[in-house]
Amino acid sequence: MAFKSVAMVSAGDSGSGADAAWHLGTAGHEIAILSSSKAGEALAHELGGLGVAECRRSAAAVQRLVDGAMDRWGRVDVLVNSAEYQPAGSAADAGGRHLHAIMDAYLMNIVRPTRIVAPVMAEAGGGTIVNIVNVGGVDPLELAPALEIFRGAMMNFCTLVENRFGASGVRMAVVVPDRLAGQSDQDECGAGMPIWRFRKPEEIPGLVTCLVADTPGLLDQKQRFDGPLTSQYKAAA
């Protein structure tokens, strides 16, 4: 009997996380979704999978979804970590509580699921982790320095995970989307982009599906996939 790949998606109730879950589910993967709202749970059920609607900032919630996936399918082959929106501001001006909220949204959102899922993948012989972040972290932006601090830490964490579990077949990719066509600040952001190229909604989930494909050699180490906007801000600085 052929087994379907099992994909777990964190923050799968909206945005790129929900798009990735839908794309993977319709491509034939079994789907498990962790979200902070009932929308992610409803999407998981629509795709014939599992959903846990609890605060994503809880390791216990992540563990419950992993346990549910293991009980039902006996495996987790793919982990897609997306981010929930959290307003970011100056590292100097933001209070301690605000900094912790940013850290939870843009660093711990990747650390918590990965720490639980990566050993499961390694024990089973491998898997793929895809982290969908936003512009920054690789090429920091002055617009949100507090955010960039934790995004930079996220990139270092990904390297450490790859170093520890890579030999066991765990692959990791970091997807850094550029701006979406039609956003309110399109004219301002596009001014420094030589080709004025904004992404379409289906491009990120399509890329995620490609990255998790069982294609030897496609990802044999941590990879970065980013759009033109990161270099646009650097050039405009």
> Which phi and psi (to 5°) does residue 223 adopt?
-125, 150
| Average pLDDT, rounded, for the chain | 78
pLDDT above 80 (res 225): no
Higher pLDDT, 116 or 236: 116
Residue 185 exposed, middle or buried by CB count within 10 Å (0-12, 13-18, 19+): exposed
Q: What is the mean pLDDT of residues 157-163?
A: 91
Confidence bin at 140 (pLDDT 50/70/90) = low
Q: Which residues pair with 223 in a beta bridge?
A: 173
* Least confidently predicted of 8-17, 118-127, 143-152, 168-177: 143-152
Share above pLDDT 70 across residues of the chain, in percent, rounded to a whole number: 68
The encoded tokens of residue 186 equal 């399109």
Q: What distance in Å separates the CA atoms of residue 164 and residue 150, rounded to the nearest whole number?
A: 21
Distances (CA, A) of 56 to 32, 83, 111, 114, 150: 14, 10, 11, 13, 17
pLDDT above 70 (res 81): yes
Q: In the prediction, which pLDDT does 70 show? A: 97
Q: In the prediction, which pLDDT does 134 show? A: 65
**Nearest 10 degrees: CA dihedral of 132, 137, 139, 141?**
110
Residues sharing a CB contact under 8 Å with residue 51, sequence separation 6 or more, in sequence order = 32, 33, 34, 35, 40, 41, 42, 43, 44, 45
Higher pLDDT, 168 or 144: 168
pLDDT above 70 (res 88): no
Q: In the prediction, which pLDDT does 141 show? A: 60
One-letter amino acid at 135 equals V
Q: In the prediction, which pLDDT does 236 show? A: 36
Indicate the SS3 state at residue 119: helix
Q: What distance in Å separates the CA atoms of residue 130 and residue 82, rounded to the nearest whole number?
A: 9
Q: What is the layout of strands, in order, in the sheet containing 78-81?
A: 50-53, 30-35, 6-10, 78-81, 127-132, 170-176, 223-226
Q: What distance in Å separates the CA atoms of residue 214 and residue 128, rounded to the nearest whole number?
A: 9
Higher pLDDT, 50 or 90: 50
pLDDT above 70 (res 135): no
The encoded tokens of residue 140 equal 């920091």
Confidence bin at 143 (pLDDT 50/70/90) = low
Hey, where are the domains in the chain?
6-236
Q: What is the mean pLDDT of residues 182-192?
A: 48
* Least confidently predicted of 35-44, 154-163, 208-217, 225-234: 225-234
Q: In terms of CATH architecture, what is 6-236?
A: 3-Layer(aba) Sandwich (3.40)
Q: In the prediction, which pLDDT does 83 show? A: 72
Centre a 10 Å sphere on the Cβ of residue 143 and count the other Cβ atoms it contains: 13
User: Tell me: the pLDDT tens digits for 12-64?
Assistant: 888 888 999 999 999 999 999 998 889 999 999 999 999 998 876 789 999 99
Q: What distance in Å separates the CA atoms of residue 159 and residue 11, rounded to the nearest whole number?
A: 22
Confidence bin at 232 (pLDDT 50/70/90) = very low
Among candidate residues 168, 173, 166, 161, the one with its CA nearest the CA of residue 125: 168
